[in-house]
Structure 1
Amino acid sequence: MNTLHRSTLLAVAGTALTLSLTACQSDSGSTSSSRPTTAATVASSPAAGATTAVEGTGTSEASGSTGSARSAAAQGSTDASSAGSTGGRGRASTSVCTARDVRVTAATQDGPPYTHIVLTARNTSGHSCRLTGFPHIQFLESHKQDVPAVAKSKPATPVVLTAGAPAYGLVKLSDGGVDEDNEPVSAFSVQLAGDSTVIAVTAPGSDGISVDPARALTGYWTPELRNGADDF
């Protein structure tokens, strides 16, 4: 009976040992086979995340740069437009001078032989105004056409007269000397560009001026007389 009991115990122990070994091998195989998969997953996951982050950052930066560039360009365009439109409004808001705004007088220039006179248009209105173009002058009743203007005397920018400020126009009367074509003039008419009102101007000198209609010329209105541009 003891022998039978011992044999039975040995058999049970052997079976248990076999089951234990089998279980251990099974657990070891399962663990070893699952760990590389997990490790590979963990290793590849950061790589994929990093790639995504770089692409996302690059796209975001490019988009941001593009957006910034477009914003800067739009702002520059707006600034330029504002600056341009502000200047335009400033010029447009200044009314054109009329005969009621200025007083026109004449004086001789350079003394004898009195080939030139200078017209002065002074703003007497109390507000600023723009004096455009050149004086439209008619010296003689027998010559109704305006005295031609000299293009090179045209100023680069509009002439804006503040209250009390003057502008000047040089006028050539003749080539000088005694000429049978010269005619005496004691008064003449001037009109401003854009205004049909006739301004009567008294000629300088006690004897007036001598004008050769074929040689007469006028310069544009300018804030000051300029050598060269006003030499004609």
Structure 2
Amino acid sequence: MSTLRNRTTVLAAATTAVLALALTACGGDDSGTKSAGPATSNTAAAGSSSEAAKDTGTTTGGSTASGGGTASGGGTAKNTSATKGSTGSASATAPACATKDVKITAATQDGPPYTHIVLTAKNTSGHKCEMKGFPEIQFLESHKENVPAVAKSKPAAPVVLTPGAPAYALVKLSDGGKDEDGEPVSAFSVMLQGGSGLAAVKAPGASGIFVDPAQAKTGYWTYELRNGADDF
């Protein structure tokens, strides 16, 4: 009886020990699972960090595409164009045309009465030159003053001629009236502002032109004659 009780006690103690071990093992599993839980969260966080990094990379790639905004390098190209433009205006600093650089001819404008002529100055040199201001014209030996210029015909930008290019100036001779105090002119002189030399220009027509010094006016040199600005 005593032996049976002892066996029961030992068995109970052994069972308790086994249960305790089992519980400890289960507890270890729980805590392991719990610690594994945050580890999984960390892994997820690491994964989302990777995704974020990918997203960031994509966004950066997008801003690198804004490096396509180096198409604002296209803006640099605009600046380059502006530079070209300023270089173009720098070409406006070409030397002034001298009479030896151009060939000046005269032709009547419209029909009778012939009140206007057009001067054409063609660049016959091998370099660029600027037609400054207006032609300084003297029609008559009896009137040494230059023909006055019409301010509204002044162009907004310098007139720079490349080799072979022409410039024009409209010149008023008279009002076309019979009672005007004028004289016939078969040739006249032209000087270029800023340049050197004097050009002798043959008047158009077999009998030349009729000039009233009181009515004579000249326009500025321009690339082409313009309605309005060159009407005088």
Q: Same fold (TM over 0.5)?
A: yes
Range 138-147 or range 98-107, more displaced: 138-147
Structure 2 counterparts to residues 1-232 of structure 1, below 5 A: 11-43=9-41, 45-47=43-45, 49-50=47-48, 53-54=51-52, 57-58=55-56, 61=59, 64-65=62-63, 68=67, 71-73=70-72, 75-90=73-88, 92-93=90-91, 95-96=94-95, 97-140=97-140, 142-149=143-150, 151-152=152-153, 154=155, 158=159, 160-163=161-164, 165-205=165-205, 207-226=207-226, 228-232=228-232
> Matched residue pairs, number?
228
Range 88-97 or range 166-175, more displaced: 88-97
Residues 159 and 121 (structure 1 numbering): CA distance in 2 closer, same or farther, change over 3 Å? same
Range 133-142 or range 117-126, more displaced: 133-142
Residues 109 and 21 (structure 1 numbering): CA distance in 2 closer, same or farther, change over 3 Å? closer
* CA-CA distance at 1:112 after TM superposition: 3.3
Question: What's the secondary structure of 2:99's corresponding residue?
Answer: coil
Q: Distance in 1 between matches of 2:203 and 2:15?
A: 141
Question: What's the secondary structure of 2:150's corresponding residue?
Answer: coil
Amino acid in the other structure paired with 2:19: L
Range 104-113 or range 7-16, more displaced: 7-16
Amino acid in the other structure paired with 2:70: S
Q: Distance in 2 between matches of 1:174 and 1:123?
A: 29
Q: Percent identity?
A: 47
Range 55-64 or range 141-150, more displaced: 55-64
Contact 1:143 1:213 in 2 (8 A): no
Residues 26 and 206 (structure 1 numbering): CA distance in 2 closer, same or farther, change over 3 Å? closer
Contact 2:135 2:218 in 1 (8 A): yes
Residue segments in structure 1 that go unaligned for 5+ positions in a row: none
Q: Distance in 1 between matches of 2:19 and 2:108?
A: 132
* CA-CA distance at 1:53 after TM superposition: 3.9
Contact 2:154 2:219 in 1 (8 A): yes
Residues 128 and 208 (structure 1 numbering): CA distance in 2 closer, same or farther, change over 3 Å? same
Amino acid in the other structure paired with 2:175: D
Q: Distance in 2 between matches of 1:137 and 1:103?
A: 15
Residues 137 and 157 (structure 1 numbering): CA distance in 2 closer, same or farther, change over 3 Å? same
Question: What's the secondary structure of 2:108's corresponding residue?
Answer: strand
Q: C-alpha deviations, 1:142-164, integer Å up to 9, x for none?
A: 3424421352474878453433x
Amino acid in the other structure paired with 1:36: K
Residues 224 and 23 (structure 1 numbering): CA distance in 2 closer, same or farther, change over 3 Å? closer
* CA-CA distance at 1:102 after TM superposition: 0.6
Amino acid in the other structure paired with 1:191: M
* CA-CA distance at 1:175 after TM superposition: 0.3
* Structure 1 vs Structure 2 CA RMSD: 3.7
Amino acid in the other structure paired with 1:71: T
